[in-house]
Structure 1
Amino acid sequence: MATADDFHEAVPLADLEESGRELTSVDGVPIALFHHEGEVRAVNNRCPHMGFPLVEGTVDDGILTCHWHHARFELSCGDTFDPWADDVQTYPVEVRDGTVYVNPNPVRELPPEEHWADRLETGLEENLRLVVAKSTIGLLDAGVDYREPTARTLEFGTKYRDAGWGRGLTVLGCMANVIDDLEERDRKRALYTGVRYVANDCAGETPNFDQPSLSTDDVGFDRLKSWFRDCVELRDADGAERCLRTAVESGRSEAELAEMVFAAATDHPYLSAGHVLDFANTAFETLEHVGAEHTADALASLVEPLVTADRSNEQSAWRQPVDLVALLEDVYGGDVTETNGLEELAREGDRGSWSPPADFQATLLGDDPEAIVDALADAVRAGATTEDLAAEVAHAAATRVAQFGTGNEFGDWDTVHHTFTYANAVQGATRRTDAIELYRAVFDAAVSVYLDRFLNTPPARVPEPGEDTGRDPDAIREDLLETFDADGEVNRAGRLVGEFFDCGGDPAALKRTLGHGLLREDADFHTLQNVEAAFRRFDLVEERRSEGEKREGVDLDRRRRIPLIATARYMAAHFPTRREAEQTFSIATRLGRGERIHE
C-alpha cells in the first residue's frame, strides 16, 4: 500500500534483519534493501556499471561491492569509489510498525542535464567508454542540444592535448557535420563516437598551456599574417600561437582568420598527407556548431600540427621520376611558398565566368602531370575561382575512390582516401575565404590525384545512370546494409548505390542507411572521415542542382552519385568489424531505459 507521503510498503523488518538483504519492486523500480550495522539502506538493484543485480553483492564496512566487476559503492549515499562505474541511486527508507517503507521517487540533487554533463566530464577525464556512452545518451534524452556536449568536448580536447588538433577532434567535428543526416538513435551514436574519440586521443597526453596574445592591437592584418606564416615556416609554435591569438583578440573576421591559417597550411604542398589542411577546415566547421567563443582555443590547437607537419616537397614521390614540385613552382612564381605567378594568372580572367572544358575531368584523371598543371593554370587565367577548381578536383578525387581497384593492397585505400578528404577540405576552405593561397591547395590536390593514378589501374567500373530500374529503394537499402555484414562486398556496395539512384530512391534515406551502417561498426578514423566527406560532396553538388545551375561539360546528375558510390565501396572494404563500441552503446541504452541486462 502507498502512503500519502510517497513511501511504499516494501518488506517486513524482521525478514530483512534475518536475511540481511531483500529484493523488492516498487512502482516498477527494482530496489535492493540491506540491513547493515543496524541501519536499513535501499539502492537501485541494477549496478550502474553493467546492470548486474546488486542484491547479490557483498556489504562490508559500509561498502557495497558488486560481484560482476567489483565496483564499490558507499552504501548510505550510493557514491562509487570507482569512477568507471557511476554512482548508484539510493532511496529514502522508514520503518513503521515493523515494516520497511521506501520512497522510489526521491528528490534528485541535480536535474538530468546537469548530472549527465558532470558524468560527461568524468568520461572524458578518465577515458571511460561506458560512462561516455551513458552521458551522451542521457544528455540527448534530456533534451540537450548536441551542440552543448560538442562544445564541452571541444573545450576538453583543446585543453588536454598539447599535441593540438588531432584525430579525436576531427571525428568530433565530422560527427557534428553529419548529425542532421541521421536517424534519431544514430545521432546519439554519432555524439558518442565523437566524444569517445576525443577522450581516447587525450588519454595520457600532456595538457596544453596557452600562449597569450600580443599586447597590441596596432598590427595590421598583412603583417600579422606574414609573422604567422614565418613562425610556422621556422616551426616556432609559441610565436605562431601568439600571432594567431592576437588575430582573434583583435577581432579579425572569420575570412581573415581562415586566410591566415590556410595560407600557412599551403606554404608547402600536401602537409602530412593532407591531414593538416583537413584538420584546419574541420576546426572552422566545428566552430559553426559550437559558437565563436571557442575560436581562439580551437584555432590555436592547429598550430602544433602545422609546425610539426611532414612536407611533401621534401619527399621523393613529389620529386622523382617527375619533379612535380618544380612544375608547381613555375606556376606559383618561384618556390612553393610564393603566389606571385598565381596572382598574375588570376588578374587576367573575369572571376566566376569559367566553365570546365568537356575533357577537364579526363585531364585531371590522366597520366600527364604537365597537362594537369597547364589545365589548371589555363582555368585560373580564364576566370576560374578557387571554389570552381576545388569542386572539379574534389570530384576527380572522389572518382579515384569510386574506381579503386580491389586488386591493390588494402592499405592503398587510405592513399586515395587522403586525397579525397584533402580535396574536400580544400573546397570547404574556398567557401570560407577567397585567399589567393588556396589556388595552391587546388594544384596540390590535383597533383595528389595524379599520384594516385596507379590505384585505378584498371579502374573499377562505376555504374552509370539508368542501368537498373524497377526495384523497391527500401529493399536496396536493406541489401546495402547486408553487404557491410560480409567481407569483400566492395563492388556490390557500389552497384547497389547506383541502383538506388536509378530506382528513384530518396538520397536522404540513403544517407541515413549509410550513417547507420557506419555508426554500428568500430569505424576507424579514416572511415568516419570518408563518409562525412562523401555526404558533404553530395550536398554541394545537390545545392548546385537545386539552384538549376548548368555548366557545359558538367553532368550534375551523374556527379552527385559518385561520392556516395565511393564511400559505400570504402565502407564495404573496411566492414564488418567486431562492433565493440556498439555493444557498449547498447548496454548504455538498456541501462538508461531500466531494462534487465542480466537475467
Structure 2
Amino acid sequence: MATTDDFREIVPLDELEAEGRTLASVDGTPLAVFHHEGEIRAVDDRCPHMGFPLVEGTVDDGILTCHWHHARFELSCGDTFDPWADDVRTYPTEVRDGTVYVNPNPSREVPPDEHWAGRLETGLEENLRLVVAKSTIGLLDAGVDYRVPTATALEFGTRYRESGWGRGLTILGCMANVMDDLEPRDRKRALYTGVRHVASDCAGEPPRFEQPSFSTDEVAFDRLKSWFRDCVEVRDRDGAERCLRTAVASGRSEGEVAEIVFAAATDHPYLSTGHVLDFANTAFESLEHVGWAQAGEILTGLVEPLVTASRSDERSAWRRPVDLVALLEEVYGGDISATSGLEELASEGAETAWAPPDGLQETLLGDDPEAIVDALADAVRSGATTEELAAEVVHAAATRVARFGTANEFGDWDTVHHAFTYANAVHQSTRRTDAVELYRGVFDAACKVYLDRFLNTPSAPVPEPGDEASGREPDAVLEELLETFDAEGKVNAAGRLVAEFFDCGGDPTALKRTLGHGLLREDADFHTLQNLEAAFRQFDLADARTDERGDAVDIAPAELERRRRVPMIATARYMAAHFPTRREAEQTFSIATRLNRGEAIHED
C-alpha cells in the first residue's frame, strides 16, 4: 500500500464513489471508508459498542448506523447519538490525483485519561455496565490511580441516591480495601465491580439534596454529639445532617467525627441487621483512599440509614425467651443507649494490662448469655480496651462462619455472615476511635454470636494446624481450590484446602490473590464481596501480631495460627456455598478488555 506523508493510499476515488464504501486495513487497524453526500469519511470499522463491523452499517442523512445494536454516529466527527455506544474514532482523508488517502495515526484531541474519565461519568449516570467496564479498565491502563475513579464513584453515589449510603458504596469501599491484595488484572475487575454496583444502586433514585452546616464553629463537641444522637433517635434526618456537616466543617478531627457517628450507630443494638455500623465503618475507610476533603459529602450519606434503621431491641429474638436487652441495659447503665455503667467498668480497669483469660472463646461461643455478658464486663473491668475485646468477639463470629453446618437452610449463611461483618466493623471502628460507646458494639456483636449458636449444630469441623498437611506444592492446592469454586456444594472441601495450603507452608499473599480472583470472576453478591473483605482484614490484623521474624508477640503461637486461619477458612467456605454463578459480569469485563485492546470480538 503506497505511503505519502502521514497518509496511506486506500482506494481509487471512482471505485469508492461507485461502491459507496470500502474496508481497508492499515497497520492492523480496520478502517471503514465511506463516500456520502460528496464527502469522504473514514472511521474505525469496529463499532465502539461491541466491535461489530461498521462497514456493513447504513449511512443516511449524515448518520452511520450499526446494524447489530443500532448505535448511531455522526459520520463527520464520529460522535454517538447513544450514550451506551461510545464515540467511534475518525481519520483524516484526502483525495490526490483521483486516489483516496487516509491518515491512520492522527493525533488524539483528548488524552485517554480524560476520555475515560468522561465515559465513567456517563456509565454512572446511565447505569451502563459495558461503559463502566471499558472506562474503569481504560483509566487503569492509562496509569490513573484507582483512587481517582473511586473518588468519582463515591461522589456520584452519595449525591445521586436520596436514600443515602447503601450496598453499592459499601461494595466500592470493600473493593478499594482489598485492591493491594489482588493481581493487577483483578484490580481492574475489583474497580469495575465497585463502580457498577454504585451505578446500579443509584439507577432510578432521586438525588439527595444536602443540608448546610450551621453558621458557627463554636458549638462544643459534647453538645454537637448529643444533638446528633438526639436527632437520630427521633429520626430527624435534616437536623442530624446539619449537626454532622457542622462537625466536619468546623474542623473536628476524624476521631471526633467518628465518635459522633459510632455513638449514634450503637445507641440501639445491631441496627438493620448490622448494616448501619458496617456502612459507617466502610465510609470512613473509603475516606482513607480518597482523602478527608470529601468527608462532608460522604459521611452525611450515612444519616438516612441511621434515621430509618430497624432496631433490634424492638425485635422478639432479642427479648424472648431471654431478654438480652435487659442484660445489656444492666451493664450499660440502666438504658440501652447509656454508657455510664461501661464508663465505670472502664475506670476500674484503667492503667491495667489485659490478656484474654483461658476459656473466653468457649464462653463467647457457648449457650449461656448471662455468662457471655458477665465475661465481657469482667474484661472491661480488668482493663480490656474496645479494640482488644472486639478482636475476641470478631474471632468468635468468624468461627461461626467456619463451623456453619451445611444441613442448615441456605439463607442462614447470611445470618452468620451478618454477625461476622458487624463484628469486623466494630473491630475496625475501635481502631479509629476509643469512644466508650463502642463497648456497646462489642457487647451487641457478642449477643448476635450467641443468637446464632444453633447454626453450628451440627458443627462443621475447623481443621487444626497440621491436620491437613499433605506435602503437596501450595500452587497445586490453590489450583484445586479454584476448581472447587467451579462446582456446587464443595463447602467443606474449600475449607480443608485453605487449611492444607497453610499446612504446606503456602504464602498468604498467593492465597489472597487466588481467593480474590475466584470472587471477582463470579457475579458475587453484596454479602460475598463483604465477606472476603472482612476476612482479609481480620487475617491482616492477626498477622500483625508477629515480629519481623514472624514470631507471635502477644499471643500463644498456636492460638495466633488459628486466628490467621479461621477467617480465611470461613470466607472460602462462604464463597464455595455461593459459587458458581452465571458469570455475566465477567463476560462484560472480557468484552470490554478486548475492545479496549482493539481486538476483534466478532469474526466470521
Q: What is the aligned partner in structure 2 of residue 408 from structure 1?
A: 408
In structure 2, how many angstroms separate the alpha carbons of the residues matched to 1:114 and 1:231? 42
RMSD of aligned Cα (Å) = 1.0
Deviation (angstroms), 1:553:
9.7
In structure 1, how many angstroms separate the alpha carbons of the residues matched to 2:66 and 2:50? 10
In structure 1, how many angstroms separate the alpha carbons of the residues matched to 2:585 and 2:559? 40
Q: What is the aligned partner in structure 1 of residue 241 from structure 2?
A: 241
Q: What is the aligned partner in structure 2 of residue 576 from structure 1?
A: 580
The one-letter amino acid paired with 1:411 is G
In structure 2, how many angstroms separate the alpha carbons of the residues matched to 1:37 and 1:479? 61
Deviation (angstroms), 1:30:
0.8
Does residue 567 of structure 2 align to residue 563 of structure 1?
yes
Q: What is the aligned partner in structure 1 of residue 295 from structure 2?
A: 295
Matches for 1:342-357 after TM superposition, within 5 Å: 342-351=342-351, 353-357=353-357
Matches for 1:331-346 after TM superposition, within 5 Å: 331-346=331-346
Q: What SS is found at the alignment partner of 2:31?
A: strand
Q: What SS is found at the alignment partner of 1:544?
A: coil
Q: TM-score, normalised by structure 2?
A: 0.98
Does residue 398 of structure 2 align to residue 398 of structure 1?
yes
| Per-residue deviation, residues 61-115 of structure 1 (Å, max 9, x unmatched) | 1111111111111111111111001110010000111111111111222100000
Q: What SS is found at the alignment partner of 2:544?
A: helix
Determine if contact 1:356/1:552 at 8 Å carries over to the other structure. no
Determine if contact 2:522/2:583 at 8 Å carries over to the other structure. yes
In structure 2, how many angstroms separate the alpha carbons of the residues matched to 1:550 and 1:385? 15
Deviation (angstroms), 1:458:
1.2
Q: What is the aligned partner in structure 2 of residue 598 from structure 1?
A: 602
| Per-residue deviation, residues 23-62 of structure 1 (Å, max 9, x unmatched) | 1011111100111111111000000000001111111111
The one-letter amino acid paired with 1:17 is E
Determine if contact 2:57/2:67 at 8 Å carries over to the other structure. yes
Determine if contact 1:178/1:532 at 8 Å carries over to the other structure. yes
Deviation (angstroms), 1:545:
2.3
Determine if contact 2:47/2:53 at 8 Å carries over to the other structure. yes
Determine if contact 1:357/1:552 at 8 Å carries over to the other structure. no
Determine if contact 1:161/1:202 at 8 Å carries over to the other structure. yes
Deviation (angstroms), 1:550:
2.4
Deviation (angstroms), 1:350:
3.4
Call closer, same or farther: CA 1:352–1:292 in 2, change over 3 Å: farther
Matches for 1:13-92 after TM superposition, within 5 Å: 13-92=13-92
Greater mean alpha carbon deviation, residues 70-79 or residues 311-320: 70-79
Q: How many aligned positions are there? A: 599
Does residue 527 of structure 2 align to residue 526 of structure 1?
yes
Q: What SS is found at the alignment partner of 1:302?
A: helix
Deviation (angstroms), 1:352:
6.0
| Per-residue deviation, residues 500-524 of structure 1 (Å, max 9, x unmatched) | 0000000000000000000000000
Determine if contact 1:262/1:280 at 8 Å carries over to the other structure. yes
Determine if contact 2:352/2:382 at 8 Å carries over to the other structure. no
The one-letter amino acid paired with 1:236 is D
Unaligned ranges ≥5, structure 2: none
Q: What SS is found at the alignment partner of 2:84?
A: helix
Does residue 170 of structure 2 align to residue 170 of structure 1?
yes
Deviation (angstroms), 1:351:
4.6
In structure 2, how many angstroms separate the alpha carbons of the residues matched to 1:112 and 1:550? 50
Q: What is the aligned partner in structure 2 of residue 153 from structure 1?
A: 153
| Per-residue deviation, residues 501-554 of structure 1 (Å, max 9, x unmatched) | 000000000000000000000000000000000000000000112464223697
Deviation (angstroms), 1:306:
0.2
In structure 1, how many angstroms separate the alpha carbons of the residues matched to 2:52 and 2:496? 46
Determine if contact 2:402/2:462 at 8 Å carries over to the other structure. yes
Deviation (angstroms), 1:357:
1.0
In structure 1, how many angstroms separate the alpha carbons of the residues matched to 2:269 and 2:351? 24
Unaligned ranges ≥5, structure 1: none
In structure 2, how many angstroms separate the alpha carbons of the residues matched to 1:398 and 1:25? 58
Q: TM-score, normalised by structure 1?
A: 0.99
Q: What is the aligned partner in structure 1 of residue 539 from structure 2?
A: 538
| Per-residue deviation, residues 251-288 of structure 1 (Å, max 9, x unmatched) | 00000000000000000000000000000000000000
In structure 2, how many angstroms separate the alpha carbons of the residues matched to 1:510 and 1:282? 24
In structure 2, how many angstroms separate the alpha carbons of the residues matched to 1:133 and 1:398? 33
Determine if contact 1:351/1:384 at 8 Å carries over to the other structure. no
In structure 2, how many angstroms separate the alpha carbons of the residues matched to 1:27 and 1:553? 61
Call closer, same or farther: CA 1:113–1:332 in 2, change over 3 Å: same
Greater mean alpha carbon deviation, residues 104-113 or residues 334-343: 104-113
Q: What is the aligned partner in structure 2 of residue 96 from structure 1?
A: 96
In structure 1, how many angstroms separate the alpha carbons of the residues matched to 2:260 and 2:183? 37
Q: What SS is found at the alignment partner of 1:344?
A: helix
| Per-residue deviation, residues 540-571 of structure 1 (Å, max 9, x unmatched) | 00011246422369710121000000000000
Determine if contact 2:376/2:443 at 8 Å carries over to the other structure. yes
Deviation (angstroms), 1:316:
0.3
In structure 2, how many angstroms separate the alpha carbons of the residues matched to 1:420 and 1:285? 18
In structure 2, how many angstroms separate the alpha carbons of the residues matched to 1:268 and 1:413? 24
Deviation (angstroms), 1:21:
1.1
Q: What is the aligned partner in structure 2 of residue 199 from structure 1?
A: 199
Once the two structures are aligned, what percentage of the paired residues are identical? 80
Matches for 1:449-464 after TM superposition, within 5 Å: 449-464=449-464
Q: What SS is found at the alignment partner of 1:267?
A: coil
In structure 1, how many angstroms separate the alpha carbons of the residues matched to 2:141 and 2:2? 30
Determine if contact 2:171/2:194 at 8 Å carries over to the other structure. yes
Determine if contact 1:405/1:457 at 8 Å carries over to the other structure. yes
Q: What is the aligned partner in structure 1 of residue 506 from structure 2?
A: 505
In structure 1, how many angstroms separate the alpha carbons of the residues matched to 2:210 and 2:124? 20
Q: What is the aligned partner in structure 1 of residue 270 from structure 2?
A: 270
Determine if contact 1:356/1:554 at 8 Å carries over to the other structure. no
In structure 2, how many angstroms separate the alpha carbons of the residues matched to 1:312 and 1:41? 66
| Per-residue deviation, residues 420-447 of structure 1 (Å, max 9, x unmatched) | 0000000100000000000000000000
Determine if contact 1:355/1:552 at 8 Å carries over to the other structure. no
Does residue 476 of structure 2 align to residue 472 of structure 1?
no
Determine if contact 1:358/1:552 at 8 Å carries over to the other structure. no
In structure 2, how many angstroms separate the alpha carbons of the residues matched to 1:247 and 1:71? 49
Determine if contact 1:17/1:35 at 8 Å carries over to the other structure. yes
The one-letter amino acid paired with 1:459 is S
Matches for 1:184-223 after TM superposition, within 5 Å: 184-223=184-223
The one-letter amino acid paired with 2:533 is E
In structure 1, how many angstroms separate the alpha carbons of the residues matched to 2:555 and 2:511? 27
In structure 2, how many angstroms separate the alpha carbons of the residues matched to 1:447 and 1:253? 31
| Per-residue deviation, residues 265-316 of structure 1 (Å, max 9, x unmatched) | 0000000000000000000000000011110011100000000000000000
Does residue 488 of structure 2 align to residue 487 of structure 1?
yes
The one-letter amino acid paired with 1:558 is R
Q: What is the aligned partner in structure 2 of residue 551 from structure 1?
A: 555
Determine if contact 1:521/1:582 at 8 Å carries over to the other structure. yes
Q: What SS is found at the alignment partner of 2:215?
A: coil
In structure 1, how many angstroms separate the alpha carbons of the residues matched to 2:65 and 2:547? 61
Q: What is the aligned partner in structure 2 of residue 587 from structure 1?
A: 591
Deviation (angstroms), 1:186:
0.2
Call closer, same or farther: CA 1:352–1:89 in 2, change over 3 Å: farther
